[in-house]
């Protein structure tokens, strides 16, 4: 066997070993968490999360991007956040009705993301954080346990929220602590105002330049619409979705545009 072939075999062996040794995030079946109690009026207490948002989230920033003051969070409030997340782990999600459970998972995701940033602050971007089992960001690392299943941020978003609810507005609700992301809501999601909050989040993003931006004859969309095109549909489906939430000016620009969409995303941390 030639030296080149030996080298190629060696490289392939190393690659196979690296793949085999790479930890994989859990992929829980969505059905395991599907709410079965349609008539349930049980609610989850998200008031600790409301208090954190009230203290540290600036929802009136002139940029139109809600900013979270990670640097200002006190040790006391870090414990409040940790206790809140621990309380969510103990919730029997199966007894919640459909809307209550959706709100539960959105709040869980957002609060957990803030805790991840706080645990590694200061950082310039969430993508700078590396955790065991996750590279290029913390999304695939198992961080919490619910109903005996270890869950990562990706599991919550892609293994539970998206496959169960099949609602593209989920992308406007979960926040990845980045400027390019839809805003972190200034209050917890609650079942009795879920539809209103999801629609408000969609309108807020679609009518901001980081969602749909116009520059001359060019239209730049958030990369979210490219990454998750299966949730928004083909070009016609995507445009219809955007028009549903667009104000009159944005809608007029979209209707008159027949060129190619460009995509962009700003991963800078959503801090002041």
Percent of residues, the chain, with pLDDT higher than 90: 80
Stretch 260-272: mean pLDDT, rounded? Answer: 98
**Residue 10 forms part of a structural domain:** no
Q: What is the mean pLDDT of residues 87-116?
A: 96
Eight-class DSSP state of 270: -
Q: What is the mean pLDDT of residues 39-67?
A: 96
Identify whether the C-beta of residue 262 lies closer than 8 Å to the C-beta of residue 218: yes
Indicate the pTM of the whole model: 0.88
Task: Let me know if residue 4 belongs to a domain.
Answer: no
Distance CA 13, CA 134 (A): 22
Q: Are 188 and 58 in contact (CB under 8 A)?
A: no
Euclidean distance between CA atoms 242 and 260, whole angstroms:
15
Domain extent for 59? 22-272
Structure tokens at 84: 């809140």
Tell me the per-residue pLDDT of 131-142, one tens digit each, with 9 for 90 and over.
Answer: 987 777 899 999
**Max alpha carbon distance in the chain (Å)?**
71
Number of domains in the chain: 1
SS3 261: strand
Residue with tokens 């940790």: 82
Q: Which residues pair with 219 in a beta bridge?
A: 214, 261
In the prediction, which pLDDT does 134 show? 76
What whole-number distance in Å separates Cα of residue 235 and Cα of residue 254? 12
Q: What is the pLDDT of residue 2?
A: 53
Q: What is the DSSP string of 171-188?
A: HHHS--SBTTSPPPPSS-
State residue 141's pLDDT score: 95
Q: Does any domain span residue 219?
A: yes
Q: How many other β-carbons are positioned within 10 Å of the β-carbon of residue 191?
A: 19
């Amino acid at each position: 066997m030639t030296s080149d072939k030996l080298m190629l075999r060696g490289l392939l062996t190393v690659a196979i070993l690296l793949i085999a040794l790479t930890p994989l995030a859990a992929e829980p079946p969505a059905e395991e968490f599907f709410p079965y109690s349609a008539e349930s009026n049980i609610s989850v207490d998200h008031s600790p999360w409301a208090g954190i948002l009230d203290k540290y989230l600036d929802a009136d920033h002139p940029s139109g991007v809600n900013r979270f003051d990670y640097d200002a969070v006190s040790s006391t409030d870090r414990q409040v956040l940790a206790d809140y997340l621990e309380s969510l782990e103990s919730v029997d999600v199966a007894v919640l009705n459909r809307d209550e459970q959706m709100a539960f998972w959105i709040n869980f995701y957002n609060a957990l993301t803030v805790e991840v940033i706080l645990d590694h602050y200061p950082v310039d971007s969430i993508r700078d954080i590396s955790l065991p089992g996750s590279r290029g960001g913390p999304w695939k690392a198992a961080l919490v346990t619910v109903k005996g299943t270890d869950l990562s941020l990706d599991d919550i978003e892609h293994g539970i929220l998206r496959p169960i609810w099949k609602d593209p507005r989920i992308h406007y609700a979960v926040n990845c602590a980045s400027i390019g992301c839809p805003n972190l809501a200034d209050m917890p999601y609650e079942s009795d105002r879920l539809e209103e909050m999801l629609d408000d989040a969609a309108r807020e993003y679609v009518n901001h330049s980081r969602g749909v931006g116009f520059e001359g004859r060019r239209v730049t969309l958030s990369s979210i619409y490219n990454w998750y095109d299966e949730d928004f549909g083909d070009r016609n489906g995507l445009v219809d979705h955007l028009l549903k939430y667009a104000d009159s000016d944005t809608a007029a620009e979209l209707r008159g545009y027949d060129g190619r969409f460009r995509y962009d995303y700003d991963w800078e941390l959503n801090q002041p």
